[in-house]
Amino acid sequence: MKKAKMEADFKFEKALARIEQIVDQMESGEIELDKALALYQEGMELMARCQATLEETQNKIKKITRDIQGRLKVEEHDLEEN
């Protein structure tokens, strides 16, 4: 549950920005080794999650319409290829 929520909250953009920040900090050479090791680990974990995002593929597109009661309805949509 918690993990699922974390996955949903994962923002590629934020993760990438954080990785850039980590690299900058590490390259500044102004941090202690143990802090650097912690940053390295954080960076690598974010990197793995970004990598996983890059490997996702979507085969279907969705379609959003309103049903008879006027409620939003999301369903898969086949795009005819002709």
Partner 1 sequence: MSEDKRTILSVSQLTGEIKRVLENSFPRLWVQGEVSNLTVHSSGHLYFSLKDAGSQVRCVMFRSYAKNMMLMPQDGMQVVVQGDVTVFDRAGQYQLSVMQLQVAGYGELAQAFERLKKKLADEGLFDQEFKKELPAYPKTIGIVTSPTGAAIRDMVKVARRRWPGIELILCPVPVQGIGAAEKIARAVDDLNEYKKVDLIIVGRGGGSAEDLWAFNEEILVRAIFRSEIPVISAVGHEVDFTISDLVADLRAPTPSAAAELAVPDIRETKSTLSDLAQRIVSSINDMLDEAGARLKSIQRSYGLNRLQDMLSQKSQQLDWAGTSLNNKINDRIRSYANRLQGQAIALKALDPQNTLRRGYSICRSPDGRVIVSSKALDKGKLITAEFHTGKAQMTVEETIP
Q: How far is the CB of 55 from partner 1 (least distance, A)?
A: 8
49 binds partner 1 (CB under 8 A): no
CA–CA distance, 30 with 4 (Å, rounded to integer): 36
CA–CA distance, 5 with 55 (Å, rounded to integer): 20
| The only residue of 1, 4, 5, 51 in contact with partner 1, by rule CB under 8 A | 51
3-state secondary structure 50-78: HHHHHHCCCCCEEEEEECCCCCEEEEEEC
- In the complex, the residues that contact partner 1 under the rule CB under 8 A are 11-13, 16, 19-20, 22-23, 26-27, 29, 33, 36-37, 40, 43-44, 47, 50-51, 53-58, 61-66, 72, 74, 77, 79-81
